[in-house]
Amino acid sequence: MVGPRNGRRRASDRVKTTKAVRIERYGGPGVLVDREIPLPDPGPDAVHVEVEAAGVNFADLAMRAGIYATAPKPPFSPGFEIAGTVARIGAGVEDWRAGDRVVALLRHGGYARDVIVPARNLVRLPESLEAAFAAAVPVAFLTAWVALFESGRARSGETVLILGAAGGVGTAATQLAVHAGLRVIGTAGTAAKREFVTHQLGAAACFDSRGDWETETRAFAGNRGIDVALDPIGGAATSSCRRLLAPLGRIVFYGLSDALPGSKRNWIRIVRAYLRTPRIHPLSLVEANAGVLGIHLLHLEQKETVLLAALEEIHRGIAAGELRPILDRTFALDAAGATAAHTFLHERRNLGKVVLTAPG
Give the pTM: 0.92
Alpha-carbon dihedral of residues 74, 77, 80, 81, nearest 10 degrees?
180
Q: Which of 84, 194, 132 is nearest to 326 (CA)?
A: 132
Q: What is the mean pLDDT of residues 87-105?
A: 95
Better-predicted residue by pLDDT, 223 or 23: 23
- Is the confidence at residue 140, as pLDDT, over 60? yes
List CB contacts of 183: < 8 A, sequence separation 6 or more: 157, 158, 159, 160, 204
The domain ranges of the chain are 14-137+325-357, 141-299
| Rg (the chain; Cα; Å) | 21
Cα-Cα-Cα-Cα dihedral sign, residues 51, 53, 59, 62:
positive
Q: Which of 298, 320, 347, 44 is nearest to 146 (CA)?
A: 298
- The pLDDT value recorded for residue 1 is 31
Cα-Cα-Cα-Cα dihedral sign, residues 184, 186, 191, 197:
negative
Better-predicted residue by pLDDT, 9 or 265: 265
Say whether 141-299 and 14-137+325-357 share the same fold.
Answer: no
Rounded CA gap, 299 and 301, in Å? 6
User: Which of 4-13, 81-90, 297-306 reaches the highest mean pLDDT?
Assistant: 81-90
Using 50, 70 and 90 to split pLDDT, how confident is the model at 15? Answer: low
CATH class of the structural domain 14-137+325-357:
alpha beta
Q: What is the mean pLDDT of residues 12-37?
A: 89
Q: Annotate 288-353 with DSSP letters as a single string.
A: TT-EEEE--GGG-GGGHHHHHHHHHHHHHHHHTTS----EEEEEESSHHHHHHHHHHHHTT--SSE
pLDDT tens for each residue of 277-315: 888 888 888 888 899 999 988 888 778 788 888 999 999
Q: Which of 35, 34, 24 is nearest to 64 (CA)?
A: 24
On whether the CB atoms of residues 341 and 55 are closer than 8 A, the answer is no
CATH topology of domain 141-299: Rossmann fold (3.40.50)
- The pLDDT value recorded for residue 5 is 34
Q: What is the mean pLDDT of residues 93-105?
A: 95
Using 50, 70 and 90 to split pLDDT, how confident is the model at 12? Answer: very low
Please, what is the average pLDDT of the chain? Answer: 91
